[in-house]
Amino acid sequence: MKRKSVVIALAVAVAFVAASCGSAPAPAPAPAPAPAAHVDPIGDFIRDVRRNAPEDALLGIGTSTHSNRAMARTVAETRARAEITRQLDVSVRNMITDYMAGSEAEPEAMLSFQENITQTLATSQLRGAIIRDEMNIGGEQITIVMLSSSNVANEIMTASQAASQLAPHMGSAQWALDRMNSALVEQNAAPPVIRNHD
């Protein structure tokens, strides 16, 4: 009987061990790794340059993916300068529109004046424009060109001198410094345009 109780105790112990192994809860699945934060080195580079640039300067951003590094730099700079020219044109158009609203000037003369300035700006050398920063990220050349507010004023005044015969009444009232400053502030508040084509 002693033997019988040992065998029963042993059987119960084996059953207990078997039951405890079989009913163990499955291990919880490992948590999925958190997705990597989206890294945008180009956007970060542009934001840093814009943040550290003078408030009243115009910035042109140009890019190129040309395989020749020197050619990529040249193309990106050319595109950045073209972007500054576009911004100058927008600022001039806004200034002329504001001036026309409060002026009794001939609309046709004003439009001719505006077109003449636009053409002059398109061929402008952008004297005083400098490369503010540049970087090559993953084969894409990014160049940021800066034109200070004093050089912006010089470019606009040079362009307007050529057109002044079309609208002599424009005079200094049109190009008053406060008008130019407000046009620059408005232009700089606009989101940046990255020129990646000609």
What was the pLDDT predicted at 16?
46
What was the pLDDT predicted at 90?
85
What was the pLDDT predicted at 193?
79
**130-139: buried (b, 16+ CB within 10 Å) or exposed (e) per residue?**
eebbbeeeee
Whole-prediction pTM value? 0.66
Contact indicator for 54, 132 with CB cutoff of 8 Å: no
d(CA 93, CA 14): 92
Q: Residue 8: inside a domain, yes or no? A: no
**Residues 6 or more apart in contact with residue 18 via CB below 8 angstroms:** none
Q: What are phi and psi of 161, to 5 degrees?
A: -60, -40
171 sits in the region (left: phi over 0; alpha: psi -120 to 50; else beta) called left
Q: Residue 41: inside a domain, yes or no? A: no
| Beta strand spans in 83-196 (E) | 130-137, 140-147, 194-195
Q: Residue 35: inside a domain, yes or no? A: no
Q: Residue 18: inside a domain, yes or no? A: no
What was the pLDDT predicted at 65?
95
Q: Residue 133: inside a domain, yes or no? A: yes
Structurally, the chain folds into a number of domains equal to 1
- Helix and strand tally (H, E) in the chain? 7, 4
Q: What pLDDT tens digit does each residue of the chain (198 aa) get?
A: 555 554 454 444 444 444 455 555 555 666 655 555 567 788 888 888 888 888 888 899 999 999 999 999 999 999 999 999 998 888 888 777 776 766 666 777 777 777 877 788 777 788 889 999 999 998 999 999 999 888 887 887 777 766 666 555 555 545 555 666 677 777 777 777 787 777
- What sign does the dihedral 100-101-104-107 (CA atoms) show? positive
What was the pLDDT predicted at 170?
58
What was the pLDDT predicted at 66?
94
d(CA 90, CA 33): 48
Q: Residue 175: inside a domain, yes or no? A: yes
Q: Residue 47: inside a domain, yes or no? A: no
What was the pLDDT predicted at 111?
75
Residue 73's domain comprises 54-195
53 residue type, one letter: A
